[in-house]
Amino acid sequence: MSQSRYVPALRFDWLTPVYDPVVRLTTRETTFKNALINQAEMQAGDSVLDIGCGSGTLANLLHEALPELDIHGIDGDSKVLGIARAKISPNGEGIHFVQAMSFLLPYLDESFDHVFSSLFFHHLTSEDKSNTLNEILRVLKPGGVFHVADWGDPDNFLMRLGSYMVMALDGTETTRDNFEGRLPELVLSAGFEDLKETAALNTVFGTIRILKSTKARG
Ligand SMILES: C[S@@+](CC[C@H](N)C(=O)[O-])C[C@H]1O[C@@H](n2cnc3c(N)ncnc32)[C@H](O)[C@@H]1O
């Protein structure tokens, strides 16, 4: 039996239109998304994938940081992709949004220099997390880099209280690995190398941990 489960941006489809203001007000969004971008050290012409791209904020920030990037964003939800397409930056012809599932990516092997994922892995069951990590490894070029920002083990008691709100909203089945601090070991067991936690930010809903890891050069 499949262990898949689909959790939309704010758990309920009818909350999707308010996703942007909620995330902006509660997660220190600009700070953590810019931290992801800054750690990537990208070059003009690099191809990048934002997996579980939601309403496209990170894709737009990537475009603003380096307009010569070839930017692809995938999400399983057509409604949130509608919001993303409506807010593509002026001259954002290098941004492509596609509806797809993270564990079946519609790209050839070794297509991307960087893969990003922001507030996404806590939407996946453990099995989907592993299948998605295998797909990310497949589509990254040798030496390509995987960047994650997501809920991790809470930094202190207050952060633990905040994390209970995410668990109540998105469900314990998909969030447990995150809040028990297992994302780094899942990334390593998929075969990534050189894993580092580069930052941790405390927010209303708990601690966001930023990870960076590499696909071996072969
Ligand atoms: C909390 S939102 C994060 C959106 C965006 N990355 C951000 O940082 O604002 C999680 C997104 O993952 C998408 N999603 C959930 N499961 C998915 C899957 N298996 N494949 C693709 N997208 C998925 C949801 O539709 C939602 O847009």
* Sign for the pseudo-dihedral over CA of 100, 104, 109, 113: positive
Cβ(179) to ligand 1 under 6 A? no
What does the CA dihedral 12, 13, 14, 15 come to, rounded to 10 degrees?
A: 60
- Of the candidates 159, 88, 30, the residue with the CA atom closest to the CA atom of residue 72: 88
When pLDDT is cut at 50, 70 and 90, the band that residue 1 belongs to is very low
For residue 170, being part of any structural domain is answered with yes
**Kind and range of the H or E run holding 20:** helix 19-26
Number of structural domains (the chain) is: 1
pLDDT in tens, 109-121: 999 999 999 999 9
Task: Give the pTM.
Answer: 0.95
Cβ(54) to ligand 1 under 6 A? yes
CATH number assigned to the domain comprising residue 38: 3.40.50.150
When pLDDT is cut at 50, 70 and 90, the band that residue 3 belongs to is low
Q: Mean of the pLDDT values across residues 134-158?
A: 97
For residue 1, being part of any structural domain is answered with no
For residue 74, being part of any structural domain is answered with yes
pLDDT in tens, 56-103: 999 999 999 999 999 999 999 999 999 999 988 778 788 999 999 999
For residue 15, being part of any structural domain is answered with no
Q: Give the chain's mean pLDDT.
A: 93
Q: Mean of the pLDDT values across residues 126-139?
A: 97
- Of the candidates 62, 72, 67, 58, the residue with the CA atom closest to the CA atom of residue 29: 58
pLDDT in tens, 175-198: 999 999 999 999 999 999 999 999
For residue 2, being part of any structural domain is answered with no
Determine the structural domain holding residue 63 and report its residue range: 29-96+106-214
For residue 6, being part of any structural domain is answered with no
User: Which of 22, 23, 34, 123 to mutate for ligand 1's pocket (most ligand atoms within 8 Å of CB)?
Assistant: 123
Per residue in 155-176, is it b (16+ CB within 10 Å) or e — as a string?
A: beeebeebbeebbeebbeebbe
Query: Tell me, what DSSP letter sits at residue 142?
Result: E
For residue 205, being part of any structural domain is answered with yes
For residue 73, being part of any structural domain is answered with yes
